Structure 1
Amino acid sequence: MTSRPASAWQGDVEAGVRAWTGGSAGEPPSAAPRGTRPDTPPDTAAEGPDADQESVGRAILLDALTGQARSRRELRAKLRKKAVPDDLAERLLDRFTEVGLVDDAAFARSWVESRQRSRGLARRALAQELRRKGVDQESASVALDDIDPEQEKETARLLVRKRLRTLRGVDSTTATRRLAGLLARKGYPAGMAFAVVRDELAAAGLEGAEGDVPDA
């Protein structure tokens, strides 16, 4: 995957807080009272029915973004779960987008890189995950286009080698079926999956079974 510099907003809401409040880049955020967390949504029950919904919604978003990038759809769902009115939620999300805290294109790039590295997922599986996260087609396509086909194939090989260590004593037909199924579930195309399995079984001194790789 092509290396990209990390987005400044990812995992760090301090810049967004400053952008929202108008503070300067070198100005530290104001300290929270001892024993409380900064940006924690206020106790609306204690404040009564006239609690500032905008402040509550903003605090919910800042808390959700602390340490983890999220898609706009995920954040919208969190606001709805906390009973923030939809029209207010959209205004808050628009404002967070303006200051760079909500950026689905950057989220998609980060998600693809992370899931490919940690789970060994291929393009098809990653595309499905981005759709479930609510990332638009254009942002998803740009992020997926960063995937290096050779790196993807090498990841498939590593997955097969790791699983092979648990298949000692299993006949080649069963091993082929299980390994092909593993790669299919992670989104690898059938042709690539079968070729990788065949090569790795041959390298291990086993004869691969002929046939098609099952789709997931």
Structure 2
Amino acid sequence: MAVRFLPAPEERPRPPREDRGDLAEVIEFRSRLRRPAAEAEAEPETSAGAESDGRAENHRPRLVAAVEPSFEPADGGPVVSVDSGDEPEGPTAYEDAVKMLARKPLSSGELQRALVVAGHPEVDAEEAVATCEESLYLDDAGLACSVATKLRDAKGESKARIRQKLRERHLPDAAIEAALADLDDEAEFELLAQTARDRARRMAGLDRQTAERRLLGFLARRGWSGERATRAAREALDGTGSGRGTVRFR
């Protein structure tokens, strides 16, 4: 019987190993399967295969402008909103001032307050008013004269009443006093007398004391008071004969 001794295992010749070019990719793929899903999505994919690159592209966050908040990518990938910072600015204080003056005449004080109410800073409102004055878009003196004349001719207002209304328009004191200076004092008293006479005609049925009290109250609401108003009221009642010989019982 023939006996043959085999070499030790470490001395045995090993068969040639096959060269596998995709071994590194297989190892990486198996290691990715063991990781948590969240960690796998957080890390960028670096595999060399074309199919792997396509998957990485699909999971890459898509940037969507903030002006389209309802936009969703067709591939279902995550959406990231980005503020472009290109929001259009509103009109300047000067532009708003020109629009306001185009609608109706305003005083410098009225315009400045309107600009502040519209949301413009106080400094910008002042600069806009100054620019409008330089451009002759504002004329406080002319506006004061126009308003004063209208109140005198159309409504028969006294100087005191006109001064009050001009101040309500936030006109400068210099423009107010210049406009009142153009009103003649003699015309002022004639207007007072005429207003008293027109009102006294409606009081023919009243006794003298009641008629005089009511007439003085009417003149006071028009801005006339004091000795001049009292004299005009009495002369008007004397001229119409109101209260003479009239006795009323209630």
Cα deviation, residue 167, structure 1: 2.2
Aligned to 1:108: 144
1: distance between equivalents of 2:100 and 2:194? Answer: 34
Counterpart check, 1:83 vs 2:119: yes
Cα deviation, residue 190, structure 1: 1.2
Secondary structure, aligned partner of 2:105: coil
5 Å-filtered alignment, 1:90-105, equals: 90-105=126-141
Deviations 1:150-169 (A, max 9, x none): 21122222322332343231
- Pick the aligned partner of 2:207 from 171, 180, 184: 171
1: distance between equivalents of 2:118 and 2:144? Answer: 25
1: distance between equivalents of 2:87 and 2:149? Answer: 44
| Change in 2 beyond 3 A, CA 1:136/1:116 | same
2: distance between equivalents of 1:135 and 1:147? Answer: 18
- Pick the aligned partner of 2:192 from 126, 149, 156: 156
- Pick the aligned partner of 1:51 from 66, 89, 92: 89
5 Å-filtered alignment, 1:1-216, equals: 49-54=87-92, 57-66=93-102, 68-206=104-242
| Change in 2 beyond 3 A, CA 1:117/1:168 | same
2: distance between equivalents of 1:153 and 1:63? Answer: 41
| Change in 2 beyond 3 A, CA 1:142/1:168 | same
Aligned to 2:23: none
Contact 2:193 2:236 in 1 (8 A): yes
Using CA pairs under 8 Å that are at least 6 residues apart, name the structure with larger relative contact order, 1 or 2: 1
Cα deviation, residue 171, structure 1: 1.3
Structure 1: where are the runs of 5+ without partners? Answer: 1-47, 209-216
RMSD of equivalent CA atoms: 2.2
| Change in 2 beyond 3 A, CA 1:207/1:130 | same
Shifted more, 159-168 versus 194-203: the winner is 159-168
Q: Percent identity?
A: 28
Shifted more, 81-90 versus 131-140: the winner is 131-140
Shifted more, 141-150 versus 57-66: the winner is 57-66
Contact 2:200 2:242 in 1 (8 A): no
Deviations 1:66-93 (A, max 9, x none): 3642211111121122112222211111
1: distance between equivalents of 2:87 and 2:209? Answer: 66
Q: Which has the larger radius of gyration?
A: 2
* TM-score (normalised: structure 2): 0.57
* TM-score (normalised: structure 1): 0.66
Aligned AA (1:187): G
State how many pairs are aligned: 159
Aligned AA (1:103): D
Secondary structure, aligned partner of 1:53: coil
Secondary structure, aligned partner of 2:202: coil
Structure 2: where are the runs of 5+ without partners? Answer: 1-85, 245-250
Query: Structure 1: which 4+ aligned runs deviate by more than 3 Å?
Result: 57-60
| Change in 2 beyond 3 A, CA 1:155/1:78 | same
2: distance between equivalents of 1:150 and 1:49? Answer: 62
